[in-house]
Amino acid sequence: MFWGIALPAWFYIFVRSLIKREALSFWLSLLLIIGVAKLMLVPFKCFQATGRYSLFIVALALLALGQTLTIFYREVFFRRTVKFGCVIFAMLSVIQLSAVQFPSYQIYEPIRDFVKNKYMTEEYYIITSEAPKFLIRAWALLDYLTLDDPRGLSCYIAMRKIVTCFPMNKTLISPLYGSHLQNRVWNLQQDKTLPPDAFLYWGPLDSLHYFGYPITPQKVMANQDYILVMQKESPVVLLFLRKDFLRDPNKQKRLKEALEVFCGS
């Protein structure tokens, strides 16, 4: 719809604004050019996490489409043809997005889970992220433990230093919040009077990047209040849970189910 209808409409409005010297239409059209030029400055490896930057470009093109329909409001056949084309392109885009890999919009796995009344699908977590598989499984485990618990849990995180498009590697923190944003990241909390419910470490233990107050994995291992529930080497992934958090029988049951699915244990 954008490439086939909205963008040609924008081009028409832009040329028309030059010919008829319409200042407002010209500056609105120029914003789209400026927006595209700025997107060219975003490295390709970063674009998957910054796709939202292009939303305003689509909006400007759709405004141009609306303006074009207004100009040709007397041409009934033209307006109906354009609107019909928008509907067809919108339907086709759903089919196209279902198979696209960058970013992944595949819907097969979620639909299969819905039909089987099942929540966890290891393959879906893996195909929708480029992070290490075991790190994805740790995210999924924490999410599953608190899925129906509005109180959620507070998780401390430390990870290896990597080259990303954002400061402090915060792109790998957001999955900790869970499907319903029920969880919290202890490092980013203002109130740190209560200890974390979980600790998640990813990367070489001697070169971890700590967000805020550093709590080493060695210190957590020596703390009798926590238990190691997930461990993986190369790359290192450690997940600790507070024993008090696991006193709930329902949490224990969910932990067992999650470990069977994600770790095969």
Digitized pLDDT (tens) for each residue of the chain, 265 residues in all? 787 888 888 888 889 898 988 888 888 888 888 888 888 887 776 666 666 777 888 888 888 888 898 888 888 888 888 888 888 888 887 777 666 655 555 666 667 777 776 655 444 554 455 556 677 888 888 998 888 888 899 999 988 765 455 444 455 788 888 888 899 999 888 888 899 999 999 888 888 888 888 999 999 999 999 999 988 887 788 999 999 988 989 889 988 888 887 665 4
Domain end (from 81, 97, 113):
97
Residue 32 confidence (pLDDT) = 87
Q: How far apart are the C-alpha atoms of 116 and 203, rounded to whole Å?
A: 35
Same domain for 159 and 256? yes
* Signed CA dihedral, 253, 256, 259, 260: sign only: negative
How much is the pLDDT for 51? 67
Residue 33 lies in a domain: yes
**So what's the pLDDT on residue 195?**
92
Q: Which pLDDT value is given to residue 131?
A: 59
Residues 219 and 141 in one domain: yes
The answer to whether residues 6 and 62 touch, using CB atoms and an 8 Å cutoff, is yes
Give yes or no: residues 165 and 80 share one domain: no
- The answer to pTM > 0.85 is no
Residues whose CB is less than 8 angstroms from the CB of residue 168 and which lie 6 or more positions away in sequence, other chains included: 209, 211
Using alpha carbons only, how large is the chain's radius of gyration in Å? Answer: 25
* 93 and 137 share one domain: no
How are beta strands 198-202 and 237-242 bridged, if at all? antiparallel
Provide the token pair at 260: 């069977």
Residues with Cβ < 8 Å from 248, sequence gap 6 or more? none
Domain count, the chain: 2
Amino acid at 178: G
What pLDDT is attached to residue 40?
A: 82
Are residues 66 and 154 located together in one domain of the fold? no
Q: Please report whether residue 12 resides in a domain.
A: yes
Quick one: 126 exposed, middle or buried, by C-beta within 10 A (0-12, 13-18, 19+)?
Answer: middle
Q: Looking at the structure, do residues 143 and 85 belong to the same domain, yes or no?
A: no
Containing structural domain, residue 74: 2-97
Residue-wise over 214-228: b if at least 16 C-beta within 10 A, else e?
ebebeebeeeeebee
Asked if the structure places residue 81 within a domain, the reply is yes
35 lies in some domain: yes
Do 145 and 250 belong together in one domain? yes
Question: Could you give the residue ranges of the DSSP H alpha helices within the chain?
Answer: 7-20, 23-39, 44-47, 55-71, 76-97, 108-115, 122-127, 133-145, 217-221, 249-262
pLDDT at 155: 94
**204/250 same-domain check:** yes
Same-domain check for residues 154 and 255 = yes
Same-domain status, 202 and 145: yes
Quote helix, strand, coil % in the chain, to nearest 5.
55, 10, 30
What pLDDT, on a 0 to 100 scale, did the predictor assign at position 76?
A: 86
Do both 91 and 164 map to the same domain?
no
**Quick one: 20 and 137 in the same domain?**
no
